[in-house]
Amino acid sequence: MMRHVPAAEYDYVIIGAGSAGCVLADRLTACGRHKVLLIEAGGSDARLAIKVPIGYGFTFSDPRVNWAYRTQADPGLASRSIYWPRGKVIGGCSSINAMAYVRGLPHDFDDWERDGASGWNWTTARQAFLNLETFRGFGLRGEPTIRGTGPLCVSDLRDRMHPFSARFLDSARDIGWPVLRSTDDREVEGLGYFCSTVRDGFRVSAADAFLRGALRRPNLRVVKNALVSRLSSNDGRLSRVHYKIGALDQVCEARIEVILCAGAVNSPKILHLSGIGPGDLLQSHGIPVLRDFDQVGKGLQDHLAISHLYETTEPTLNTVFGRWLGRVGAGLRYALTRTGPLSVPVNQVGGFIRSGGPDAAPDVQLFCNPASYSISASGKPQLDRTPGYLLSAQPCRPTSRGEIRIASADPQDAPLIHPNSLATEADRLSAIRAGKLIRRLLTAPSLGRVTVSTRTPDILKMTDDDMLEDFRRRASTVFHPCGTCRMGPTSATSVVDNRLRVHDMTGLRIVDASTFPNITSGNTNAPTLMVALRAAEMILEDAHG
């Protein structure tokens, strides 16, 4: 028999302790005036595979920390169902991602404002990024430097990268591409060493940067392993959150606001379960329609990338992790010094490059890794045993849009993910141009002289049609879903306004990547943190008049 407990009251109830939820929990409790409840579907992040940077390979498919979603068969990708990892743990995706810290490009945010998200231009976004970050890097003479005082540690780890990674930069120089000296936002095009959310050999998740300190405050309560089933209204205001811990049903009340931070997949799912969404969809599952709101779940965007693997004559990370003795040596080095290959992410070199398309700005993001590996159909990374490397290209600004829809009225059922990939001619042409950039980098002398053979279809022999077909059959997500509760001026085209309040509803805000008006050019974790920091300022402004 299920037991019920009376509703508890808080000023704010935050749903989701991921990247955005951790920022909000910190900022909304800092002044001491507000009582906050943070609800997380997953459990503790106190796991070695989360804390050690290279542990990303283990959390990638671990259902204990990962929703491990799969898309519906995607016609644009040869009707394949693609594995979509999403964080289900304190820290959310920031606890299981590859730790690359990429703000995006300035025009990404200016485009947000042009699309109706007033006030979300590059000038305001850049200031929020600066407020987020403490940057550990190197000066022009190679001396260690620290700048900024933000909670999030962002590190330039070039001194710890595998030596083979320098080959990628040499190849960029061979063909005249810029090689970046730093992550200064004035340098937007070229290849360089990725900056990462890593400090002293450990991952720095949003939980580490923002939530840890907030947990010491008496006005914050965190509930783990709690599945939110729906929201409901009280006196016309959406203020009640219904959730379950095991067999125990619970209800809490938000005196000021409910803030939905469940991500681009689960935020629209929770709204649908609450009766907020397309009326025909809700009725088909027997859910009473609280508000017929067609835009909820629409507008889904994601990055797709095609990867090519090559065997090389020089040692790479395969040489270390593909042998028992190498793994033992790396483990001992990390245990004693917090350095070595375990202390840095596998994404080591990358950047934005112009492909020759119609955009004036760089339109393809490249990833160059000193390891060759593939992802099985079940989502498990598989490392090659002999030395190899990976070149991957991701069109930056896809125009296709998909949709998230609930599969049933049961909160435990995974939603239906319809990516609708390569639905536009512009996206299909971008996929071809992305492949050509890989081919150009591959044929540079610095890589050409150490490359033995390809482990994937030979891009050097492909026509444009072949490249597109290869993209359809092998490309996969780069784990950047967004836009399903997008920001905009009216409910006809968006879900939230420019202060992230749900249109025409009282007491409900959404703060996560689902609110992006359109996808940013690169990795989406940094922009999500930026959105959350700005949202916290707006929420406190509204509360304090």
Q: Give the pLDDT of residue 322.
A: 87
Q: Give the pLDDT of residue 1.
A: 40
Q: Are 10 and 255 in contact (CB under 8 A)?
A: yes
Closest CA to 197 of 102, 264, 55: 102
Q: Are 194 and 347 in contact (CB under 8 A)?
A: yes
Annotation: CATH topology of 52-87+157-203+301-477: Glucose Oxidase; domain 3 (3.30.560)
Residues comprising the chain, all counted? 545
Q: Are 427 and 243 in contact (CB under 8 A)?
A: no
Annotation: CATH topology of 8-46+206-300+483-543: FAD/NAD(P)-binding domain (3.50.50)
Low-confidence residues in the chain, pLDDT < 70: 1-6, 182-187, 377-379
Structure token pair of residue 306:
């095609």
Of the residues 303, 308, 418, 480, only one is catalytic, namely 480
Q: Which residues pair with 391 in a beta bridge?
A: 308, 368
Q: Give the pLDDT of residue 374.
A: 81
Report the distance separating Cα 323 and Cα 318, nearest Å: 8
Q: Give the pLDDT of residue 382.
A: 83
CB-CB neighbours of 305 under 10 Å: 22
C-alpha distances out from residue 78 to 420, 472, 473, Å: 11, 6, 6
Closest CA to 523 of 318, 311, 352, 404: 352
CB-CB neighbours of 461 under 10 Å: 9
For the residues of 400-451, what is the DSSP string, one character each? --EEEE-SSS-TTSPPEEE--TT-SHHHHHHHHHHHHHHHHHHTSHHHHTTE
Structure token pair of residue 38:
């943070």
Residue burial 176-194, b: 16+ Cβ < 10 Å; e: rest: ebbbbebbeeeebebbbbb
Report the distance separating Cα 211 and Cα 204, nearest Å: 11
Cα angle 240, 246, 251; round to 5: 15
Report the distance separating Cα 410 and Cα 285, nearest Å: 9
* Helix, coil or strand: residue 305: strand
β-strands 8-15, 349-353 pairing: unpaired
Q: What is the DSSP secondary structure assignment for residue 118, as one 8-state letter?
A: T
Q: Give the pLDDT of residue 230.
A: 98
Structure token pair of residue 310:
């090559």
* Helix, coil or strand: residue 196: strand
User: Does the annotation count 480 as an active-site position?
Assistant: yes
Task: Please list the residue range(s) of the chain that carry CATH number 3.30.560.10.
Answer: 52-87+157-203+301-477
Q: Are 470 and 463 in contact (CB under 8 A)?
A: no
Closest CA to 14 of 534, 482, 407, 512: 512
Between the two ends of the chain, the Cα-to-Cα distance in Å is 46
Report the distance separating Cα 418 and Cα 220, nearest Å: 37
C-alpha distances out from residue 138 to 141, 192, 300, 302, Å: 8, 13, 38, 33
Report the distance separating Cα 39 and Cα 253, nearest Å: 13
Q: Are 443 and 368 in contact (CB under 8 A)?
A: no
Task: Please list the residue range(s) of the chain that carry CATH number 3.50.50.60.
Answer: 8-46+206-300+483-543
User: How much is the CA Rg of the chain, to the nearest whole Å?
Assistant: 23
Report the distance separating Cα 189 and Cα 172, nearest Å: 12
Phi first, then psi: give them for residue 475, nearest 5 degrees. Answer: -65, 155
pTM of the predicted structure, to 2 decimals = 0.96
Q: Are 190 and 177 in contact (CB under 8 A)?
A: yes
